[in-house]
Chains A and B, each alone.
Chain A
């Protein structure tokens, strides 16, 4: 790692941001080559939170890996659960029950909502306003309470199983979720006024960063960051899985290509998730919440991959099995890794404060990158 200043440019210095820094959201280290307040060359350094999840998958039965999935992206554990059971089901040829698919969608969308709410608060916190995060946490708390009742945990869920889910949802869950949808809708105008309409907030992130389809294609950027550059790509539409084809919802797309666009995409996604939730609760089919599966599932030799839309983008599990119940190889493609890798190109020449705002807009979850 070259941390010395570039020769011939004596005004340059190196600012080490992280691994402990309030704006890197976890143990990310960014080496910033600076000229005054301008960042000439930002280089992210990874590996401070590496736990070898992929290797762990090769050393235990496929069922034993399920809790690991929750510990990669701590904000979207249920989506990670969903992807993993999805790939095992596809490999083993198991069909989950319709009710299970609905429950998965409902809990995943709740998970997506709480992730977006946390992101909303944290982005504004990065820009220096302390209050909105308290409001979003109040909303988020309601989701966590609802999910805690049915899954038993608040952050690192291990709720989904091959063929279904662990616990059925009851009327109380449905009722509370409906009440929550009502509540969240009533809160959105407040965020509109407090955050979206805030002149300083707008001036800070409008025309900041340049997300283009070309840049996204080169680095494999997905999720709201890609949709902010005008590409309507969402796994829930592009490769529909689970019960998503049965719902009527939009994929929010913005053409601004700046940080404001990523902001707007995510805020609009909150409304779309609420729509999905509403429809799923209305159409929730009766029946078993878990398919009958053999006690010990042996994975047939072969490959399978399964993609889901995490709040941050495209999450893909690719599993290779050799006939035993231990996967031969599990490859996990996480969205934050690609989203982070555009940072050097995106943030070159920016002010230090803008780099923080940009990183907030990318919505990075570092344990997902360092898995």
Chain B
């Protein structure tokens, strides 16, 4: 009993964790390249072209540069907090990948409360940003961190409320269960308002434009990242892209039918293709939004959340509850 339970399970955990790390780094590379290339296209310029075919190796070279850079620690900073902040941000980033169902079979472990697990892990990032902002002992960093906390706390509410509507319909917190519930119709068609609210909240949660106030470049130079160089910066950078990936995965799972798609051979495994296609479609939309819109102001950001998103999602929750009861 113990043998048959322990060994395969341990191997499975190890294997999924390696896979998760590969996804984290792979996603950072793909997103870094995609973002720069697409930004180039939007701005009528080619983007990186020098290294490798069409600049595909640019990210590898950038990585080497960032690893080789000196990590400058400000003299007045809180050394411990300053050092652990990027780690606190990056270390939990791979964990949510363990419960994400990429296909019916490709999943680290299907928790009963997988959804809550992801939300709990993702929330750690706010703490990391706060630590970074406080530890840097820089007013710009602190302002960025302050904005980040307010923004994340505020936008978590409409996010959770819309999420609840989905849970009411599916009756499960298991991610696999939510995906399976969408076999006949994707929830985006069932509740488009929830999808829009959730996606907007996602943008704000991942600090993406037009809600990128914590790093507002033109006001706060780089917000909470102002004092970070080299690997400190690149850990934040990778964490940001991983959280974007997770947020989009969550959107796909909740609203876009997860791995559902036209049937493929060996669908238990290959339907992960549909999953990744949908996720990257959403990520490209995020990039598109970033390079099109100006940044909102802080009070507008808050007003938008409390005056529009929260009431909308509350009403939506109520309507869903009534419909489900009927």
Contact = CB atoms under 8 A, between A and B. Distances in A.
Contacts of B140: 15
A37 B220 CA distance: 11
A48 interface: no
Contacts of B299: 351
A179 to B, nearest CB: 18
B44 A134 contact: yes
Classify the secondary structure of A's interface with B: helix
Q: Which 4 A-B pairs have the closest CB atoms?
A: A128-B295, A134-B43, A127-B294, A129-B294
B39 A130 contact: yes
A23 interface: yes
B127 interface: no
B296 interface: yes
Interface string B127-145: 0000000000001100100
Interface in B131-185: 139-140, 143, 147
Given A22-B221, A138-B44, A128 B292 contact: no
Contacts of A275: none
Task: State which size class the interface on A falls in.
Answer: 20 to 34
A193 B218 CA distance: 23
A125 B298 CA distance: 17
Contacts of A200: 210, 293-296
A198 B297 contact: no
B43 A128 contact: no
Contacts of A201: 294
A204 B294 contact: yes
Nearest to B139: A15
7 contacts: A21-B221, A130-B291, A134-B43, A200-B294, A204-B296, A204-B297, A353-B216
A203 interface: yes
Contact of A37 (B39, B143, B212, B296): B143
Interface in B295-326: 295-300
Contacts of A21: 221
B46 to A, nearest CB: 12
Contacts of A353: 216, 219, 295, 297-298
A203 B219 contact: no
Interface in B35-59: 39, 42-45
A204 B299 CA distance: 11
Contacts of A126: 218
B112 interface: no
Interface residues of B, number: 28
B44 A198 contact: no
A153 interface: no
A129 B299 CA distance: 18
A131 B43 contact: yes
A356 B219 contact: yes
Given A130-B39, A130-B43, A130-B291, A203 B296 contact: yes
Nearest to B45: A134
A128 B210 CA distance: 8
B217 interface: yes
Interface string B5-47: 0000000000000000000000000000000000100111100
A191 interface: no
B218 A125 contact: yes
A203 B301 CA distance: 11
A46 interface: no
Given A198-B294, A203-B296, A352 B43 contact: no
B44 A128 contact: no
Contacts of A23: 218-219
Interface string A121-137: 00011111111001100
Interface in B204-262: 209-210, 212, 216-221
A128 B298 contact: no
A351 B298 contact: yes
Contacts of B139: 13, 15
Given A134-B44, A134-B45, A356-B219, 20 more contacts: A13-B139, A21-B221, A22-B217, A22-B218, A23-B218, A37-B147, A128-B212, A128-B293, A128-B295, A129-B292, A129-B294, A131-B291, A200-B293, A201-B294, A204-B296, A204-B300, A351-B297, A352-B220, A353-B216, A356-B218
Nearest to A203: B300
Contacts of B219: 23, 352-353, 356
Central interface residue in A15, A138, A200, A204, by most chain B CB within 10 Å: A200
Contacts of A194: 292
Interface in A316-358: 351-354, 356
